Protein backbone atom coordinates (compact mmCIF):
# COMPACT_ATOMS: atom_id res chain seq x y z
CA UNK A 1 0.00 0.00 0.00
CA UNK A 2 0.94 3.64 -0.21
CA UNK A 3 -0.14 6.91 1.42
CA UNK A 4 -0.62 8.62 -1.94
CA UNK A 5 -4.03 10.28 -1.97
CA UNK A 6 -4.66 12.01 -5.28
CA UNK A 7 -3.25 13.71 -8.31
CA UNK A 8 -3.34 17.45 -7.80
CA UNK A 9 -3.11 20.13 -10.51
CA UNK A 10 -0.21 22.44 -9.76
CA UNK A 11 -2.04 25.33 -11.47
CA UNK A 12 -5.75 25.23 -10.59
CA UNK A 13 -5.65 22.79 -7.66
CA UNK A 14 -8.25 20.38 -9.05
CA UNK A 15 -7.84 16.82 -7.81
CA UNK A 16 -7.97 13.57 -9.76
CA UNK A 17 -7.88 9.93 -8.73
CA UNK A 18 -4.55 8.13 -8.92
CA UNK A 19 -4.56 7.14 -12.58
CA UNK A 20 -2.07 7.15 -15.44
CA UNK A 21 -2.37 10.79 -16.50
CA UNK A 22 -0.20 13.84 -16.19
CA UNK A 23 -2.14 16.97 -17.25
CA UNK A 24 -5.20 18.69 -15.86
CA UNK A 25 -8.23 18.33 -18.13
CA UNK A 26 -9.37 21.87 -17.29
CA UNK A 27 -6.25 24.02 -17.43
CA UNK A 28 -3.59 21.67 -18.85
CA UNK A 29 -1.45 22.25 -15.77
CA UNK A 30 0.87 19.43 -14.68
CA UNK A 31 -0.40 16.93 -12.12
CA UNK A 32 1.48 16.03 -8.97
CA UNK A 33 0.98 13.30 -6.36
CA UNK A 34 -0.27 14.37 -2.94
CA UNK A 35 -0.31 12.24 0.20
CA UNK A 36 -2.26 11.72 3.36
CA UNK A 37 0.32 13.52 5.46
CA UNK A 38 -1.53 12.96 8.75
CA UNK A 39 -1.49 9.19 8.26
CA UNK A 40 2.13 9.35 7.11
CA UNK A 41 3.14 11.31 10.18
CA UNK A 42 1.78 8.53 12.39
CA UNK A 43 3.46 5.76 10.42
CA UNK A 44 6.86 7.19 9.54
CA UNK A 45 9.74 7.91 11.88
CA UNK A 46 13.50 8.11 11.62
CA UNK A 47 13.61 4.67 13.18
CA UNK A 48 11.09 3.10 10.78
CA UNK A 49 13.16 4.39 7.88
CA UNK A 50 16.47 3.27 9.39
CA UNK A 51 15.14 -0.28 9.75
CA UNK A 52 14.34 -0.49 6.02
CA UNK A 53 16.46 -1.91 3.20
CA UNK A 54 19.63 -0.17 2.01
CA UNK A 55 17.91 1.12 -1.13
CA UNK A 56 15.38 3.80 -1.99
CA UNK A 57 12.68 1.42 -0.76
CA UNK A 58 13.58 2.41 2.81
CA UNK A 59 11.41 5.47 1.96
CA UNK A 60 8.54 3.29 0.77
CA UNK A 61 5.98 5.10 2.95
CA UNK A 62 6.84 8.38 1.22
CA UNK A 63 6.41 7.02 -2.31
CA UNK A 64 3.26 6.66 -4.45
CA UNK A 65 3.43 2.92 -5.17
CA UNK A 66 3.21 -0.43 -3.44
CA UNK A 67 6.76 -1.34 -2.43
CA UNK A 68 5.79 -4.95 -1.72
CA UNK A 69 5.60 -5.46 -5.46
CA UNK A 70 8.51 -3.21 -6.39
CA UNK A 71 10.50 -3.56 -9.57
CA UNK A 72 13.72 -3.66 -7.62
CA UNK A 73 17.26 -3.43 -8.94
CA UNK A 74 18.41 -2.04 -5.60
CA UNK A 75 18.50 1.58 -6.75
CA UNK A 76 19.34 4.31 -4.29
CA UNK A 77 21.08 4.63 -0.94
CA UNK A 78 24.18 5.71 -2.80
CA UNK A 79 27.25 7.12 -1.03
CA UNK A 80 27.38 10.63 0.40
CA UNK A 81 31.09 11.41 0.52
CA UNK A 82 32.85 14.19 2.38
CA UNK A 83 34.96 15.84 -0.33
CA UNK A 84 37.91 17.43 1.47
CA UNK A 85 40.25 17.62 -1.52
CA UNK A 86 37.72 19.15 -3.87
CA UNK A 87 36.49 21.39 -1.07
CA UNK A 88 40.01 22.71 -0.63
CA UNK A 89 40.39 23.26 -4.37
CA UNK A 90 37.14 25.23 -4.51
CA UNK A 91 37.54 26.99 -1.17
CA UNK A 92 34.70 25.21 0.66
CA UNK A 93 35.03 23.93 4.22
CA UNK A 94 32.12 21.45 4.22
CA UNK A 95 31.60 19.96 0.77
CA UNK A 96 29.87 16.65 0.16
CA UNK A 97 29.36 14.66 -3.04
CA UNK A 98 26.16 12.66 -3.44
CA UNK A 99 27.47 9.99 -5.77
CA UNK A 100 24.59 8.60 -7.83
CA UNK A 101 27.01 7.06 -10.32
CA UNK A 102 26.73 3.85 -8.30
CA UNK A 103 23.10 3.14 -9.20
CA UNK A 104 22.22 -0.06 -11.14
CA UNK A 105 22.45 1.65 -14.54
CA UNK A 106 24.90 4.28 -13.30
CA UNK A 107 22.66 7.32 -13.09
CA UNK A 108 20.03 8.83 -10.80
CA UNK A 109 17.35 7.87 -13.34
CA UNK A 110 17.11 4.46 -11.63
CA UNK A 111 15.30 6.23 -8.80
CA UNK A 112 12.54 7.63 -10.97
CA UNK A 113 12.23 4.48 -13.05
CA UNK A 114 12.04 2.21 -10.00
CA UNK A 115 8.96 4.12 -8.88
CA UNK A 116 7.44 4.59 -12.36
CA UNK A 117 7.85 0.97 -13.39
CA UNK A 118 6.41 -0.30 -10.11
CA UNK A 119 3.41 2.00 -10.58
CA UNK A 120 3.06 0.99 -14.24
CA UNK A 121 2.76 -2.68 -13.26
CA UNK A 122 0.19 -1.72 -10.62
CA UNK A 123 -1.84 0.00 -13.35
CA UNK A 124 -1.65 -3.18 -15.44
CA UNK A 125 0.67 -2.01 -18.22
CA UNK A 126 2.81 -4.64 -19.89
CA UNK A 127 5.05 -2.26 -21.84
CA UNK A 128 7.37 0.51 -20.60
CA UNK A 129 8.51 3.38 -22.81
CA UNK A 130 10.20 6.76 -22.57
CA UNK A 131 11.55 9.80 -24.38
CA UNK A 132 15.10 10.08 -23.16
CA UNK A 133 18.37 12.00 -23.38
CA UNK A 134 20.11 8.67 -22.71
CA UNK A 135 20.21 7.73 -19.05
CA UNK A 136 16.46 7.32 -18.76
CA UNK A 137 16.46 4.92 -21.71
CA UNK A 138 19.16 2.82 -20.04
CA UNK A 139 17.17 2.61 -16.83
CA UNK A 140 13.81 1.91 -18.45
CA UNK A 141 15.35 -0.89 -20.51
CA UNK A 142 16.94 -2.45 -17.43
CA UNK A 143 13.85 -2.21 -15.24
CA UNK A 144 11.65 -3.66 -18.00
CA UNK A 145 13.96 -6.67 -18.13
CA UNK A 146 13.82 -7.02 -14.37
CA UNK A 147 10.01 -6.87 -14.47
CA UNK A 148 9.81 -9.24 -17.43
CA UNK A 149 7.97 -6.78 -19.66
CA UNK A 150 8.64 -5.07 -23.00
CA UNK A 151 10.36 -1.72 -23.50
CA UNK A 152 10.48 0.87 -26.28
CA UNK A 153 13.00 3.61 -25.65
CA UNK A 154 13.32 6.70 -27.84
CA UNK A 155 16.46 8.85 -27.92
CA UNK A 156 18.05 11.50 -30.15
CA UNK A 157 20.23 9.74 -32.73
CA UNK A 158 23.36 11.77 -31.86
CA UNK A 159 23.88 10.15 -28.43
CA UNK A 160 27.15 8.81 -27.06
CA UNK A 161 27.73 5.15 -27.93
CA UNK A 162 27.84 4.15 -24.26
CA UNK A 163 24.28 5.31 -23.86
CA UNK A 164 23.04 3.55 -27.00
CA UNK A 165 24.72 0.25 -26.06
CA UNK A 166 23.52 0.75 -22.49
CA UNK A 167 19.92 0.50 -23.67
CA UNK A 168 20.15 -2.07 -26.42
CA UNK A 169 22.01 -4.62 -24.29
CA UNK A 170 18.89 -5.25 -22.20
CA UNK A 171 16.95 -6.31 -25.28
CA UNK A 172 14.78 -3.19 -25.43
CA UNK A 173 13.60 -1.79 -28.74
CA UNK A 174 15.96 1.19 -29.07
CA UNK A 175 14.66 3.90 -31.39
CA UNK A 176 17.19 6.57 -32.46
CA UNK A 177 15.25 9.58 -33.72
CA UNK A 178 16.69 12.11 -36.14
CA UNK A 179 16.14 15.21 -34.10
CA UNK A 180 16.77 16.78 -30.71
CA UNK A 181 15.23 15.60 -27.44
CA UNK A 182 12.33 18.00 -27.84
CA UNK A 183 11.42 16.29 -31.15
CA UNK A 184 11.69 12.90 -29.48
CA UNK A 185 9.41 14.08 -26.69
CA UNK A 186 6.78 15.42 -29.07
CA UNK A 187 6.82 12.15 -31.02
CA UNK A 188 6.43 10.17 -27.81
CA UNK A 189 3.46 12.27 -26.70
CA UNK A 190 1.74 11.28 -29.94
CA UNK A 191 2.68 7.63 -29.46
CA UNK A 192 1.41 7.73 -25.88
CA UNK A 193 -2.04 8.68 -27.22
CA UNK A 194 -1.97 5.82 -29.68
CA UNK A 195 -0.44 2.85 -27.82
CA UNK A 196 -1.30 1.43 -24.39
CA UNK A 197 2.22 1.85 -23.01
CA UNK A 198 3.48 3.37 -19.79
CA UNK A 199 5.69 6.22 -20.97
CA UNK A 200 7.48 6.76 -17.68
CA UNK A 201 8.02 10.49 -18.24
CA UNK A 202 4.73 11.21 -20.03
CA UNK A 203 1.55 9.46 -18.88
CA UNK A 204 3.01 8.20 -15.60
CA UNK A 205 5.23 11.27 -15.08
CA UNK A 206 3.65 12.30 -11.74
CA UNK A 207 4.76 8.98 -10.18
CA UNK A 208 8.12 8.97 -11.96
CA UNK A 209 8.95 12.42 -10.63
CA UNK A 210 8.35 11.32 -7.03
CA UNK A 211 11.33 8.96 -7.26
CA UNK A 212 13.68 11.96 -7.31
CA UNK A 213 12.62 12.92 -3.79
CA UNK A 214 14.62 10.00 -2.46
CA UNK A 215 17.85 11.88 -3.25
CA UNK A 216 16.85 14.56 -0.75
CA UNK A 217 15.70 12.03 1.85
CA UNK A 218 18.99 10.15 1.63
CA UNK A 219 21.21 13.20 1.87
CA UNK A 220 19.40 14.42 4.99
CA UNK A 221 19.49 10.97 6.60
CA UNK A 222 23.16 10.47 5.72
CA UNK A 223 24.02 13.84 7.26
CA UNK A 224 22.56 12.55 10.53
CA UNK A 225 19.02 13.81 9.94
CA UNK A 226 19.86 17.35 9.03
CA UNK A 227 19.23 19.37 5.91
CA UNK A 228 22.23 20.71 3.99
CA UNK A 229 22.73 24.47 3.72
CA UNK A 230 23.03 24.41 -0.05
CA UNK A 231 22.32 21.87 -2.81
CA UNK A 232 23.84 22.14 -6.31
CA UNK A 233 21.62 20.28 -8.76
CA UNK A 234 21.91 19.67 -12.52
CA UNK A 235 18.86 20.68 -14.55
CA UNK A 236 17.44 19.19 -17.75
CA UNK A 237 13.63 19.40 -17.50
CA UNK A 238 14.07 20.85 -14.00
CA UNK A 239 12.11 18.01 -12.40
CA UNK A 240 14.92 16.68 -10.19
CA UNK A 241 15.56 20.12 -8.71
CA UNK A 242 11.90 20.68 -7.84
CA UNK A 243 11.68 17.27 -6.19
CA UNK A 244 14.72 17.84 -4.03
CA UNK A 245 12.82 20.86 -2.75
CA UNK A 246 9.65 18.82 -2.24
CA UNK A 247 11.55 16.00 -0.51
CA UNK A 248 13.14 18.33 2.03
CA UNK A 249 9.83 20.11 2.67
CA UNK A 250 8.09 16.79 3.29
CA UNK A 251 10.73 15.76 5.80
CA UNK A 252 10.04 18.91 7.79
CA UNK A 253 6.29 18.40 7.45
CA UNK A 254 6.61 14.82 8.74
CA UNK A 255 8.84 15.91 11.63
CA UNK A 256 11.81 13.95 10.28
CA UNK A 257 13.85 17.17 10.20
CA UNK A 258 13.73 20.02 12.68
CA UNK A 259 14.21 22.79 10.21
CA UNK A 260 14.91 23.13 6.54
CA UNK A 261 16.55 26.29 5.23
CA UNK A 262 18.30 24.79 2.28
CA UNK A 263 19.25 26.92 -0.68
CA UNK A 264 18.77 25.04 -3.92
CA UNK A 265 20.83 26.12 -6.92
CA UNK A 266 20.55 24.76 -10.45
CA UNK A 267 23.29 24.16 -13.01
CA UNK A 268 23.02 23.89 -16.79
CA UNK A 269 25.39 23.77 -19.74
CA UNK A 270 25.76 27.11 -21.49
CA UNK A 271 24.85 25.38 -24.77
CA UNK A 272 21.42 24.51 -23.35
CA UNK A 273 20.56 26.88 -20.54
CA UNK A 274 16.99 28.10 -20.97
CA UNK A 275 16.30 27.96 -17.22
CA UNK A 276 19.47 29.87 -16.32
CA UNK A 277 18.77 32.47 -18.99
CA UNK A 278 15.31 33.11 -17.53
CA UNK A 279 16.79 33.28 -14.03
CA UNK A 280 19.31 35.89 -15.12
CA UNK A 281 16.60 37.90 -16.85
CA UNK A 282 14.48 37.80 -13.70
CA UNK A 283 11.51 36.21 -15.46
CA UNK A 284 9.53 33.00 -14.96
CA UNK A 285 8.98 32.85 -18.71
CA UNK A 286 11.26 30.30 -20.29
CA UNK A 287 12.19 30.68 -23.91
CA UNK A 288 12.97 27.33 -25.57
CA UNK A 289 16.42 26.92 -27.16
CA UNK A 290 18.14 24.57 -29.61
CA UNK A 291 20.70 22.59 -27.58
CA UNK A 292 24.36 22.55 -28.57
CA UNK A 293 26.52 21.09 -25.80
CA UNK A 294 28.53 18.02 -24.85
CA UNK A 295 26.20 17.65 -21.84
CA UNK A 296 23.66 15.64 -23.82
CA UNK A 297 21.94 14.17 -20.78
CA UNK A 298 20.85 17.71 -19.87
CA UNK A 299 20.06 18.85 -23.42
CA UNK A 300 16.36 19.67 -23.11
CA UNK A 301 15.63 22.89 -24.96
CA UNK A 302 12.04 23.25 -23.72
CA UNK A 303 12.13 22.18 -20.05
CA UNK A 304 8.75 20.93 -18.79
CA UNK A 305 9.43 21.83 -15.16
CA UNK A 306 11.59 24.88 -15.78
CA UNK A 307 8.98 27.28 -14.43
CA UNK A 308 8.65 25.34 -11.17
CA UNK A 309 12.42 24.96 -10.90
CA UNK A 310 12.78 28.75 -11.11
CA UNK A 311 10.26 29.12 -8.30
CA UNK A 312 12.06 26.61 -6.05
CA UNK A 313 15.40 28.30 -6.72
CA UNK A 314 13.96 31.73 -5.98
CA UNK A 315 11.98 30.74 -2.88
CA UNK A 316 14.95 28.89 -1.39
CA UNK A 317 17.44 31.71 -1.91
CA UNK A 318 19.47 29.71 -4.42
CA UNK A 319 20.82 30.68 -7.78
CA UNK A 320 21.22 29.36 -11.34
CA UNK A 321 24.44 29.05 -13.27
CA UNK A 322 25.67 27.91 -16.69
CA UNK A 323 29.11 26.70 -17.78
CA UNK A 324 30.60 26.21 -21.24
CA UNK A 325 31.86 22.91 -22.61
CA UNK A 326 35.52 23.54 -21.69
CA UNK A 327 34.55 24.30 -18.12
CA UNK A 328 32.43 21.13 -18.07
CA UNK A 329 35.41 19.00 -19.11
CA UNK A 330 37.56 20.74 -16.50
CA UNK A 331 34.86 19.98 -13.93
CA UNK A 332 34.86 16.28 -14.83
CA UNK A 333 38.65 16.16 -14.55
CA UNK A 334 38.77 18.12 -11.30
CA UNK A 335 36.26 15.78 -9.64
CA UNK A 336 38.11 12.70 -10.91
CA UNK A 337 41.57 13.96 -9.95
CA UNK A 338 40.60 15.34 -6.55
CA UNK A 339 38.14 12.73 -5.30
CA UNK A 340 38.39 9.64 -7.49
CA UNK A 341 34.91 9.95 -8.96
CA UNK A 342 34.48 9.73 -12.74
CA UNK A 343 31.26 11.54 -13.59
CA UNK A 344 29.54 12.04 -16.88
CA UNK A 345 29.09 15.47 -18.44
CA UNK A 346 26.21 16.38 -16.09
CA UNK A 347 28.64 15.97 -13.19
CA UNK A 348 31.03 18.31 -14.94
CA UNK A 349 28.19 20.82 -15.23
CA UNK A 350 27.63 20.64 -11.48
CA UNK A 351 31.28 21.01 -10.49
CA UNK A 352 31.87 23.83 -12.99
CA UNK A 353 28.70 25.54 -11.80
CA UNK A 354 29.68 25.15 -8.15
CA UNK A 355 33.07 26.73 -8.90
CA UNK A 356 31.38 29.74 -10.45
CA UNK A 357 28.90 30.04 -7.58
CA UNK A 358 31.73 30.08 -5.04
CA UNK A 359 33.68 32.64 -7.05
CA UNK A 360 30.66 34.92 -7.33
CA UNK A 361 29.88 34.62 -3.63
CA UNK A 362 26.56 32.83 -4.26
CA UNK A 363 27.82 29.84 -2.28
CA UNK A 364 29.29 30.72 1.08
CA UNK A 365 32.64 29.17 1.94
CA UNK A 366 31.41 27.76 5.25
CA UNK A 367 28.07 26.40 4.09
CA UNK A 368 27.42 22.67 4.18
CA UNK A 369 27.20 22.11 0.43
CA UNK A 370 26.03 18.97 -1.34
CA UNK A 371 26.89 18.59 -5.03
CA UNK A 372 24.65 16.07 -6.79
CA UNK A 373 26.65 13.90 -9.18
CA UNK A 374 23.94 12.16 -11.14
CA UNK A 375 25.62 9.95 -13.74
CA UNK A 376 28.81 7.99 -14.42
CA UNK A 377 31.60 8.96 -16.78
CA UNK A 378 32.17 5.70 -18.63
CA UNK A 379 28.98 6.47 -20.56
CA UNK A 380 30.33 9.75 -21.94
CA UNK A 381 33.97 8.95 -22.64
CA UNK A 382 33.80 10.96 -25.87
CA UNK A 383 33.74 14.14 -23.78
CA UNK A 384 37.17 13.61 -22.23
CA UNK A 385 39.06 11.06 -24.30
CA UNK A 386 41.16 13.69 -26.10
CA UNK A 387 41.71 15.81 -23.01
CA UNK A 388 43.43 13.36 -20.65
CA UNK A 389 46.94 11.87 -20.42
CA UNK A 390 47.67 9.30 -23.08
CA UNK A 391 48.95 5.91 -21.95
CA UNK A 392 52.71 5.39 -22.04
CA UNK A 393 53.19 2.75 -24.71
CA UNK A 394 56.17 0.54 -23.90
CA UNK A 395 57.85 -2.82 -24.50
CA UNK A 396 57.66 -5.16 -21.45
CA UNK A 397 61.06 -4.12 -20.07
CA UNK A 398 62.19 -1.90 -17.21
CA UNK A 399 64.39 0.07 -19.59
CA UNK A 400 61.49 0.78 -21.91
CA UNK A 401 59.39 1.96 -18.97
CA UNK A 402 62.08 4.28 -17.64
CA UNK A 403 62.78 5.65 -21.09
CA UNK A 404 59.10 6.43 -21.65
CA UNK A 405 58.89 8.28 -18.34
CA UNK A 406 62.04 10.22 -19.14
CA UNK A 407 60.68 11.16 -22.55
CA UNK A 408 57.62 12.60 -20.95
CA UNK A 409 59.98 14.55 -18.72
CA UNK A 410 58.59 13.15 -15.48
CA UNK A 411 60.18 11.69 -12.36
CA UNK A 412 59.47 8.18 -11.13
CA UNK A 413 57.69 8.05 -7.78
CA UNK A 414 59.93 6.67 -5.02
CA UNK A 415 63.07 6.87 -7.19
CA UNK A 416 66.17 7.45 -4.97
CA UNK A 417 67.96 9.04 -7.91
CA UNK A 418 71.70 8.56 -8.66
CA UNK A 419 74.09 9.03 -5.77
C1 LIG B 1 17.97 13.32 -16.42
C2 LIG B 1 19.21 13.76 -15.75
C3 LIG B 1 19.25 14.87 -14.87
C4 LIG B 1 18.11 15.81 -14.51
O5 LIG B 1 16.97 15.72 -15.21
P6 LIG B 1 15.64 16.56 -14.91
O7 LIG B 1 14.91 16.40 -16.20
O8 LIG B 1 16.05 17.97 -14.64
O9 LIG B 1 14.96 15.92 -13.78
C10 LIG B 1 20.44 15.13 -14.24
N11 LIG B 1 21.54 14.40 -14.47
C12 LIG B 1 21.54 13.35 -15.30
C13 LIG B 1 22.81 12.60 -15.49
C14 LIG B 1 20.38 12.99 -15.97
O15 LIG B 1 20.40 11.93 -16.78
ZN1 LIG C 1 -5.71 22.52 -13.55
What is the share, in percent, of the chain residues with pLDDT greater than 90?
96
Give the span between the Cα atoms of 28 and 297, in whole angstroms.
27
Tell me the per-residue pLDDT of 75-84, one tens digit each, with 9 for 90 and over.
999 999 999 9
* Ligand 2 centroid to residue 8 C-alpha, Å: 8
- Range(s) for CATH 3.40.50.1100 in the chain? 4-72+109-208, 80-106+212-383
Residues near 411 by Cβ (< 8 Å), separated by ≥ 6? 405
Ligand located closest to 303 CA: 1
How confident is the model over 20-50, as pLDDT tens digits?
Answer: 999 999 999 999 999 999 999 999 999 999 9
* Ligand having the closest approach to the CA of 31: 2
- Tell me which residue has its CA closest to atom 11 in ligand 1: 374
Report the phi/psi class of residue 26: left, alpha or beta, with left for phi > 0 and alpha for psi in -120 to 50: alpha
How high is the pLDDT of residue 414? 86
What CATH number does the domain located at 4-72+109-208 have?
3.40.50.1100
pTM of this prediction exceeds 0.95: yes
* Cβ partners under 8 Å of residue 398, min gap 6: none
pLDDT at position 1 is 83
From the CA of 300, give the closest atom in ligand 1. 7
The fold of the 80-106+212-383 domain, in CATH, is: Rossmann fold (3.40.50)
Name which of 63, 131, 142 is nearest 103 in CA terms. Answer: 142
Beta-carbon neighbour count of residue 84 at 10 Å? 14
Q: Which pLDDT belongs to residue 419? A: 45
Please tell me the predicted confidence (pLDDT) of residue 199: 98
Q: What is the residue with the minimal CA distance to atom 7 of ligand 1?
A: 237
Query: Is the shortest distance between the CB of 346 and ligand 1 below 6 Å?
Result: yes
pLDDT of residue 243: 98
Sheet holding 94-99, edge to edge: 80-82, 94-99, 368-373, 230-234, 263-269, 320-323
User: Measured from the CA of 235, which atom of ligand 1 is nearest?
Assistant: 8
Per-residue pLDDT, 284: 97
Mutate to test the pocket of ligand 1, among 346, 371, 383 (most ligand atoms within 8 A of CB): 346
Q: What is the mean pLDDT of each run of 10 residues along the chain (419 residues)?
A: 95 97 96 97 97 98 97 98 98 98 98 98 98 97 98 97 97 97 97 98 97 98 98 98 98 95 98 98 97 98 97 98 98 98 98 98 98 98 94 96 91 71
Amino acid sequence: MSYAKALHCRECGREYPLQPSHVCEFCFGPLEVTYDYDAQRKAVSRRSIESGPLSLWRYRDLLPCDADRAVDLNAGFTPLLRARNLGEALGLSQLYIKNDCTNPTWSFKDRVVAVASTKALEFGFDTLACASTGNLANSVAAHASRAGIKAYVFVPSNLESGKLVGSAVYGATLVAVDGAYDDVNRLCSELADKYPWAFVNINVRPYYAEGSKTLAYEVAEQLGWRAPDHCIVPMASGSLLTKIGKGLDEMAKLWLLDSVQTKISGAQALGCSPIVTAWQAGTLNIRPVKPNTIAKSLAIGNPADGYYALKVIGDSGGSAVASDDDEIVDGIKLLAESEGIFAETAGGVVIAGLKRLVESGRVDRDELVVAFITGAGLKTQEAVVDKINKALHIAPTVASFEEAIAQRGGAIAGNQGTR
